Amino acid sequence: MQPTPVAVVTGGSRGIGKAVAHELASLGYRVQLVARNRGNLEAAKEEIVRAHVLEGETVPGIYAADVSDVAAIRTVVRDILGDCGRIDFLFNGAGISIPGTFDLDAATFTRLFEVNLRAPFVFMQEIVPIMERQGGGHIVNVASRNGKVAVANLGGYSASKFGLVGLGESAFRDLSAKGIAITTLCPGWVNTDMAAGEGASLAPEEMIQPEDIAVTVRWLLSLRRPVRVMDVLLECAKDVERRGSVEIAKLYALRERHREEYDSLTL
Ligand SMILES: NC(=O)c1ccc[n+]([C@@H]2O[C@H](COP(=O)([O-])OP(=O)(O)OC[C@H]3O[C@@H](n4cnc5c(N)ncnc54)[C@H](OP(=O)(O)O)[C@@H]3O)[C@@H](O)[C@H]2O)c1
């Protein structure tokens, strides 16, 4: 009999991570949730148990830890392996967003890197050898649209997410031949506490929903073993429309003001 697959979901207590944990539970994974706040972890666990009528070993495990603490990550992975005996899927969803660039103090800049980049790195460093021993696995890291296209006043966050995109691309080349599929998700605004806290420019219903990320994960897991997806960019339609029209408007303005330069443009 095949063992029940085990999924580690960081940031699994709220937002995107919780929606992905629901999806994984519905697919038959034993989900192991990691976040700092134990009360939120307990609440997420109860919600998942009720929604998917889980009992016994399929009840989610919860691990309260700050992923900016390298030793704590190693302890969490060791404990999950001890409790479950294997790890088949890693979802690196824990993350923080702090606006700012040169106004950020060095400690805040470092914190963004510790949570958004070093933590996924350490989780992968710990879990990849386990997956290798098992003969394969899946990893999904959540970067951001801001890890592909930076905007003003978000330099620290964007730098950490560009770093995660780069780490994911390199790991994609390292791990593919080892039977480990790794994908970086790069979403625009997602309707979670994080977006609400940042005063997003879109209404909640105009944003990507956490469930859209969950079905993206379901789709990745449904692909046949020889298929690899390096990254997925998910945009909010309203953002694309706005940017598209702004770019076109800029082009028209350039044509009016500097016709020679415009005529020499190769689009
Ligand atoms: N929402 C968006 O618009 C958006 C867009 C693109 C990318 N993303 C990325 O998607 C990921 C999830 O974001 P979200 O919107 O779901 O955020 P969220 O609703 O704020 O949830 C963040 C999750 O991460 C956990 N977390 C945060 N800091 C942690 C730490 N130091 N140690 C352990 N756990 C920690 C939180 O739990 P505790 O607070 O209890 O620790 C929570 O479970 C992040 O990486 C974010 O950068 C979000």
pLDDT of 263: 75
CA distance 224 to 87: 19
Q: According to the model, what pLDDT value does residue 181 have?
A: 98
For the question of residue 262 being annotated catalytic, the response is no
Nearest CA to ligand 1 atom 17: 194
Token pair, residue 177, equals 């031949």
pLDDT at residue 14, rounded to an integer: 98
pLDDT for 212 equals 98
CB 31 within 8 A of CB 58: no
Which residues sit with their C-beta closer than 6 Å to ligand 1? 11, 13-17, 35-37, 40, 66-68, 93-97, 115, 142, 144, 187, 189-190, 192-195
Q: How far apart are CA 265 and CA 253, in angstroms?
A: 14
Distance CA(127)–CA(156), nearest Å, equals 27
Which CATH class name applies to 6-235?
A: alpha beta
Counting as low any pLDDT under 50, the low residues of the chain are none
From the CA of 11, how far away is ligand 1's center (Å)? 6
**Residue 3: CB atoms within 10 Å:** 11
- Asked if residues 212 and 218 have their Cβ atoms less than 8 Å apart, the reply is no
Residue 186 CA, ligand 1 centroid: distance in Å: 14
Q: Which atom of ligand 1 is nearest to the CA of 213?
A: 10
Give pLDDT, residue 259: 78
- pLDDT for res 253: 76
**Residue 68 alpha carbon, nearest atom of ligand 1:** 31
pLDDT reported for residue 266: 60
Instruction: Give me the pLDDT at residue 247, please.
Output: 66
| pLDDT at site 260 | 76
The residue type at 88:
D
Single out the catalytic residue among 29, 63, 157, 262.
Answer: 157
The C-alpha atoms of residue 141 and residue 35 are separated, in whole angstroms, by 15
Q: Please tell me the residue having the least CA distance from ligand 1 atom 36.
A: 11
- The pLDDT, as a whole number, for residue 83 is 97
Atom of ligand 1 nearest to the CA of 97: 47
Nearest CA to ligand 1 atom 37: 35
Pairwise CA distance, residues 157 & 259, whole Å: 38
